[in-house]
Amino acid sequence: MNLFEKHRPVFEKAQQTCATRACWSPYPDMPDKYPEAAQAKAAGLLAFEQHLQRGRFDLDQPGIHAWVGEEISPYTQAPLGMVYPQSDMDRLFDAAEHAMGSWALASITERIGVLMEVLEVIYRDHLFEVLHAVMHTAGQSYNMAYAGSGVNALDRSIEALVYAEQAMRSVTPSAVWQRRFGSAEIQLQKTYRLVPRGTAVCFSCASFPTWNAWPSMMASLATGNPVILKPHPATVLPMAITVKAFRQVLQSRGFDPNLVTLAIDTSSEPIGKLLIQHPKTAIVDFTGSVRFGQWVEKNAHPALAFTETAGCNTVVLESSDDLDAALRNLATTLCLFSAQMCTSPQNIYVPKAGVQTPQGLVPFAEVAQRLAHAVQALTSDPKKAAMILATIQSPQTLALLQDMQAQGQQRGKVLLAPTAYVHPQFPNARTSTPLMLQVSTQERDLYAEERFGPISFVIACDDVQDALQHATHDARTQGGLTAFLYSTREDFIAQAEAAYARAGAQLTINLLGAMPLNFAAAYSDYHVTGLNPAGNATLTNLAFVAGRFGIVQSRRPVTQSTETTP
C-alpha cells in the first residue's frame, strides 16, 4: 500500500473538516490519553535526556563547518549544553536545489503521502521527546508542550496539506483544446505542470517553535519546495528533532534528505537577514518579532514572504450576565503560559463608568480590582501557578516587567506587582506572576505596542464607544490577532463584530467556562487575517499555499503520437 492510501482516511476526514470547520482531530488532546501513555512518556523523557548526555546533535547534512548552541532551560536556568551542526549557507541552498528535482516530479499524492508519514513518525516516535525539548527551551508547561506544541501543531500541519492539495488540484494536469481559425481546425494537447517556486527558508520562534513552523514546512514541501529551517537560537532542540525526523522519512522513501536542513546561528552572529536575501531564497516563512517581521516583508523580494508576528490583542468589557465568570476567563488567559502567546490579550478597555451587570453597574476601579484578584487567585498557589504560568522564556522579559512596573507606578496604578514564584519541580525556574497596570488612555505610548510577557493594562475609557474605538485602533495600527468582547447588548456586539472585522482581529464573544479564551482550534479557527500589522499570512488558507508553486504549460498539436500518450 502506498503512503497516501495508508493515510487517506485521516486526510479525507481533515479535508471534510476544513470545509465544515467543525471540531475534529485524529490525536488525543491530553497526554494521558496517548496510547500506552506511561511508556511513551518515559521513552520521550529518556530520548530527551540522551540528547543532553550526548550534547551533540548529529545531522548528516552537507557543509558542516562548526558546532554551536546556546540554549538555556527556563526551568533550570542552566545551559542545555547542546551543540548543533552549522553548515555553510551556500552548501545548504545548493543541496536543497539539487534535492528539489525528483521531489518536484513526484505526484501530489506521493508527496502528501510522505509528509503524512512524517507527521505519523513525529507523533508515534518523537512527540514526548519534542515535549521535553519544548519545555526546556521555550519554557512551556508539560500539558501545553503536549497540546500546543505537539498534537495541535500536527493538526495544523495536516490542515496545511489539505489546502496545498486543494490549490494544486484546481489545476488540471492536461487538456485537449480545439478551435477553428479561419478554415483550419487546430487541436492542441496541453500539459500543465506545477513547478515549485524554490527553496523556502522557515524561521521558527523562541516561545512556540513548532506551531507555525510545522504547517509552513508542510505548505512548502507539499508544493514541491525544499525547506531550510532556521530556529531561534534559544529554541533549537525541538526543531532539530523535527528536521531529523523529516530527513529520515524522506530518505527512507527514496527522496533526498536535503529537502529539509537546519541552518543554525547564534545571538551574537545572526544569519537571518543573509538567509532571506540569499539569491536562491524563493519563499520565507517567518514567525517572530514585529520589527523583524516587517523587515522581512519589505526585504524578502523577490522571495514570497509569509509572516506572523504579534500585536496588541485587546479586550472590551461592556456588560456581562456573569462578571465574575468573565473575569475568571480573562484572568486565565492573562496567565496562560505567562501571556507569551501571540494570542494573549494585553489591553483591556473598560468604560470609566463601569460594566453593566444584573446586579447593577460595577465601577471601573472595582472591575480592575476584581480582575487583578482573579489573576492573583490563579497564581498564588505555586502548584497551580506552575501549571498555568509555566516559565518565562527569556531573561529580557523579566527586565521588561521591571521597567513596565516602574513606569506604571509613575503613570498609573499597579494593580498587581509581579513576583517570582517557586516552581514545585524546578526550584531554579525563571518565573514571574503577571504585572497588571491600571492606566488612562493618556498613557497610550505605554500600552500601544506589544509588551511581550505577562503584562496587561486595564484602561479607563470615556464610554463603550470610546473603548471599542481604542481597541480596534490598536488592532488596525499595531496589529492584533485575537480580540475579546463581553457584552449583553446585541446591537453593540454587531457593531463590535463589524469594527473588529475591519481591523482584522479574530473576535471571541462572551465566552465563559473551561475553554481558554485564546484557544485556537485547528481546522476551525483561522490564525492571523493578514489585514493588520500582526502578519500578512493566514495559517492556513488558500492564499497561504497557492503562491508556492507556479503553473507552467506546454502545448503541441495533437498527432498520432500525442493522442496515444496517456
> Which residues in the 469-498 window bind a copy of itself by CB under 8 A?
490, 493, 497
Binding flag, residue 558, a copy of itself (CB under 8 A): no
Among residues 83, 290, 536, 539, the one that binds a copy of itself under rule CB under 8 A? 536
Shortest reach from residue 154's CB to a copy of itself, in Å: 17
Chain positions 431 to 470 lying near a copy of itself, rule: CB under 8 A, are none
C-alpha cell at 370: 476584581
Binding region for a copy of itself (CB under 8 A) out of 329-337, 433-441, 460-468, 502-510: 502-510
When the beta carbons of 251 and 510 are compared against a copy of itself, the nearer one is 510
Chain positions 18 to 37 lying near a copy of itself, rule: CB under 8 A, are 19-23
Shortest reach from residue 27's CB to a copy of itself, in Å: 13
Binding region for a copy of itself (CB under 8 A) out of 118-126, 396-404, 450-458, 547-555: 547-555
Shortest reach from residue 304's CB to a copy of itself, in Å: 8
Among residues 266, 406, 553, 563, the one that binds a copy of itself under rule CB under 8 A? 553
Distance of CA 158 to the CA centre of its chain: 14
Shortest reach from residue 311's CB to a copy of itself, in Å: 14
When the beta carbons of 93 and 246 are compared against a copy of itself, the nearer one is 93
When the beta carbons of 124 and 555 are compared against a copy of itself, the nearer one is 555
Among residues 35, 254, 279, 557, the one that binds a copy of itself under rule CB under 8 A? 557
Binding flag, residue 512, a copy of itself (CB under 8 A): yes
**Is residue 552 within 8 Å of residue 191, measured between CB atoms?**
no
Residue burial 109-132, b: 16+ Cβ < 10 Å; e: rest: bbbbbbbbbbbbebbebbbbbbbb
Among residues 36, 298, 445, 566, the one that binds a copy of itself under rule CB under 8 A? 298
As a whole number of angstroms, the distance between CA 450 and CA 466 comes to 21
Residue 134's nearest CA partner among 230, 236, 248 is 236
Binding flag, residue 543, a copy of itself (CB under 8 A): yes
Binding region for a copy of itself (CB under 8 A) out of 69-77, 369-377, 459-467, 543-551: 543-551
Beta carbons within 8 Å of 235's beta carbon, 6+ residues apart: 71, 134, 137, 138, 204, 205, 206, 207, 209, 393
Binding flag, residue 515, a copy of itself (CB under 8 A): yes
CA distance readout (Å), 553 to 171, 173, 192, 194, 195: 11, 9, 4, 9, 10
**Is residue 477 within 8 Å of residue 502, measured between CB atoms?**
no
Binding region for a copy of itself (CB under 8 A) out of 46-54, 229-237, 351-359, 549-557: 549-557
Identity at 216, one-letter amino acid code: S
Shortest reach from residue 435's CB to a copy of itself, in Å: 28
In degrees to the nearest 10, what's the CA dihedral of 32, 527, 277, 72? -30
Q: Which residues pair with 86 in a beta bridge?
A: 66
Among residues 302, 360, 427, 566, the one that binds a copy of itself under rule CB under 8 A? 302
Number of residues binding to a copy of itself, judged by CB under 8 A = 73
As a whole number of angstroms, the distance between CA 248 and CA 121 comes to 10
Binding flag, residue 507, a copy of itself (CB under 8 A): yes
Binding flag, residue 550, a copy of itself (CB under 8 A): yes
**DSSP assignment string, 208-227:** SHHHHHHHHHHHHHHTT--E
Handedness of CA 83, 85, 90, 92 (dihedral sign): negative
Binding flag, residue 387, a copy of itself (CB under 8 A): no
As a whole number of angstroms, the distance between CA 11 and CA 50 comes to 34
Chain positions 163 to 222 lying near a copy of itself, rule: CB under 8 A, are 166-167, 170-172, 175-179, 181-184, 186, 188, 190-193, 195, 197
Binding flag, residue 277, a copy of itself (CB under 8 A): no
As a whole number of angstroms, the distance between CA 332 and CA 91 comes to 47
Residue 488's nearest CA partner among 360, 368, 331, 357 is 357
As a whole number of angstroms, the distance between CA 390 and CA 146 comes to 13
Residue 456's nearest CA partner among 349, 326, 317 is 349
What DSSP element (H or E) covers 542? helix 542-545
As a whole number of angstroms, the distance between CA 339 and CA 159 comes to 26
Shortest reach from residue 500's CB to a copy of itself, in Å: 7
Binding flag, residue 530, a copy of itself (CB under 8 A): yes
When the beta carbons of 87 and 482 are compared against a copy of itself, the nearer one is 482
As a whole number of angstroms, the distance between CA 405 and CA 377 comes to 20
When the beta carbons of 26 and 547 are compared against a copy of itself, the nearer one is 547
When the beta carbons of 24 and 123 are compared against a copy of itself, the nearer one is 24
When the beta carbons of 70 and 497 are compared against a copy of itself, the nearer one is 497
Binding mask 127-166 for a copy of itself (x = CB under 8 A): ---------------------------------------x
Binding region for a copy of itself (CB under 8 A) out of 39-47, 87-95, 128-136, 503-511: 503-511
As a whole number of angstroms, the distance between CA 85 and CA 103 comes to 25
Shortest reach from residue 283's CB to a copy of itself, in Å: 12
When the beta carbons of 45 and 501 are compared against a copy of itself, the nearer one is 501
Among residues 220, 391, 506, 518, the one that binds a copy of itself under rule CB under 8 A? 506
What DSSP element (H or E) covers 272? helix 272-276
What DSSP element (H or E) covers 506? strand 506-509
* Residues present in the chain in total: 566
Binding region for a copy of itself (CB under 8 A) out of 122-130, 335-343, 443-451, 523-531: 523-531
Shortest reach from residue 525's CB to a copy of itself, in Å: 7
